Structure 1
Amino acid sequence: MFNGRQRYSLLFPFLIIIAISFMGIGGYMYIEDYNFIDALYMTVISITTVGYTEVKPLSPNGRLFTVLLLISSFTTFAYALALITQYVASGELINYFRQRKMVKQIDELTNHVILCGLGRNGQEAAITLRQNKVPFVVIEQNEERVRSYMAKNESLLYLIGNATEDETLQKAGIDRAKALLTALPTDADNVFIVLSARSLNEKLTIISRASQHSALNKLRKAGANKVVMPDKIGGAHMASIVSRPDVMDFLEYLTGYAESGSIVDVMEIGTLSKDYEGVPLRQLIDDHLAEGIVIAIKTTSDYLITPSPSLLLERTMKLFFLHKINVRNASMELVQKA
């Protein structure tokens, strides 16, 4: 993302041209008593060395001013044009406007996820968020890392900056976000981000990475809703593959990680028509979920595994619905709150 110095460097050649133009216009209006149009005309034909006919014969002072204008503008105007050409040829100017467009897109985001850090864990999180069509914006200090990621993946919304700074989080729309994932390798940075994020948005769901066990309680006290230790999860997952290979293969199949796998969606009863409140689960299955299986229901206090079809639905319930990806149809659009 362009900082103030970079924006100034892009605007500098245009400022040079504007300054020369105003100097010429002001000089001709003062010395020769030209009106604005005539002064503008004389300035343009002078600094561009076109050499069209003068508006009227110049006085000695006017000629002297023209000589000074030509000498001063020749090098500065050429320098400005060279800079503009360089910016266009190198793509910096196009990149500048692309970045401005990205900032506008970020400002329009609502109910999105802020991903802090685009390292190995951050990149995996970005891939999963994109696969599930969850809008997100990345905050990363290393611009080269962002470019490397974008060279292998689709374009993404990002901010180059320090996620520990409140200003950067605000630019990412933390007041409108639904969740924040911080995947920085340093626990101290993650704690600081969690503290800042929680102070800026009390309702935000915050999920943080932790490298050391000693950081778990600190992150929770700082305001993290969930704390994930990648090394612990990775080691446990490898051990589970060895000890329970079939179970792990099935879980990967359920969660959609397998290439031909199924997918588990979550449906909130509160998002459905009020007609389903208080009716048996069987009715909802017959109406919309005949091509899948309700494998569990989450209540306010517990999980009900393989719930009975006679169970009466409540608006606070969440249904875990299993179905094949290739049989998703219009009726399954109800199942969209993952």
Structure 2
Amino acid sequence: MRKITIRLLTKIPTKYGTTGMILIAALFVYGILGSYFIMHLNIIDSIYYSIITMATVGYGDYTPHTGIQKIFATTLALSGVALLAYVFNIMLTSFQEKMSEYSKGARKMKAIEDMDDYYIICGLGRVGKVVFDELKKRKQNIIVIEKDEEICENIEEGDNIVKFHKDASEDNIISRLAGEKCNSVIVSTGDDVNNLFIVWTIRENNPDAWIVTRASRVENIPRLKKAGANKVVSPEIIGGQDMFFESAKPYLLRITVKHNVDQIYDEFKVINKYDCSLETIDYHIPGVETPLTREINVTRLADGKKYYNYLQTHDDQRHALDTLYKTTNNIHSHLILGKDKQSFEDLIKDLKKIEEVVGINLTNKEIAEITREN
């Protein structure tokens, strides 16, 4: 307890402590000069008289007689009382504030100890806020570390939300929390240097932690991975991909088909014939609205041929894909990028010759109904 008290008292705000010391020094100088010139005491007695008067001890061995001496003694005593009250108030207020902080910190750590698992978010800017909302919507336990006081104040704490107004790049709390119960650490500050340091700090103390970090600049992605991030997400890349797909919508076709593994290459030859590229494949599990999506981004016929030959020589991979096709009743959707409407019309005609076309630009809900019936 004594150590805690000393730590609290030594953390009195600098500006208040400095002001108090200046006022004490000024009043002491005033007391010495007044005692010397007004009370007509020697320098040693002037120091002595100033101290006992400021401290309101007043032993009575030096008594003011004239009016000016009484005024001086009164002002020195009242100023001493006021100054002592001021300094004492600063110390008491600081002590109470620090005790309150320690108490809040203890309650937060107790709440975290009671959690079975949790996610940590470092930085609640635009990206971090989206992650926070998604986790909150799913009723996950969340620990937020945010250095911006205004943002931190707007976070409402609850049974599954704990916030810390701290800089994760300067405080070691992140290392203490990123232990076994931490599902993931999301590092989402807007500064790649801060993100790099936070990732490095976490990885140094928690080799098994799962770390996902934001990269504001693409060229920093390798550095963040080297520092220990498991996943690096770049809003710049994601935003660019979203813009590409939005701009390409008039030239995107989603065609839902039904065929087996042996028809993969024949299908791709038709897609390539009309200078189209296969962007993604959605595998539709019967009755489930959200499909399993696989990115392809294939444009060259040679790539399609290479993949087909790979399946012919790797039985385990072919068996896995064949199992997936059977699970989905061979129904899946292709997102195809083409150059114009006529290409799509010709493409659909040729595909109908080699496989069953279930529908064009169907929604996931519509496809779910079809697979449920099948």
TM-score (norm 1): 0.46
After TM superposition, the score normalised by the length of structure 2 is 0.43
By relative contact order (CA 8 Å, sep 6+), the higher-ranking structure is 2
